[in-house]
Amino acid sequence: MKISTKGRYGLRAFIDLARYSEEGPVSINSIAQRQHLSEGYLEQLMAKLKKAGLVKSLRGSSGGYTLAKDASEVSVGDVLRALEGDMELVACAAFHEAEPCGLQQTCVAKYVWQKINMSILNTIDEIKIDTLVEQSRQEGGNNGETDLLG
């Protein structure tokens, strides 16, 4: 599995939003400048995050985006699933009732795929956004750039 630019840039933007929305709505332009992203691409990412119920948009001259939930309640997994979809490395049919596998009774490789999938899901679900916001404050100094995730 390789996380696309959608996931990487979207997570960076979400961390930035979490960091700066404590003071009020954050404009696309300000996130784009701090994160070196195009506004058009960022608008597409924010639309996906809004559809997933992770961000809210506010219109008007002092509008922008805010988090829909507290940063301590949102995991990296929540953000990545909103942007990338399913995060399983291998969608083994042995563990998906809708897609039965003729070899599931004798295939022992399924346990490898299950363990890898669970490791990935546990990791991304246990890292909360507020932890990354705090880390970005420590590492990013005053310029606000969040290069934690490339």
The confidence score (pLDDT) of residue 109 equals 82
Q: What domain range is 19 assigned to?
A: 5-86+128-140
Q: Find out whether 57 and 46 touch, Cβ atoms under 8 Å.
A: yes
At 17-48, the pLDDT tens digits run 999 998 899 999 999 999 999 999 999 999 99
Domain presence at residue 76: yes
Domain presence at residue 12: yes
The confidence score (pLDDT) of residue 18 equals 97
End-to-end CA distance of the chain: 17
Domain presence at residue 117: no
The total of structural domains in the chain comes to 1
CATH of the domain at 77: 1.10.10.10
Q: What is the pTM of this model?
A: 0.83
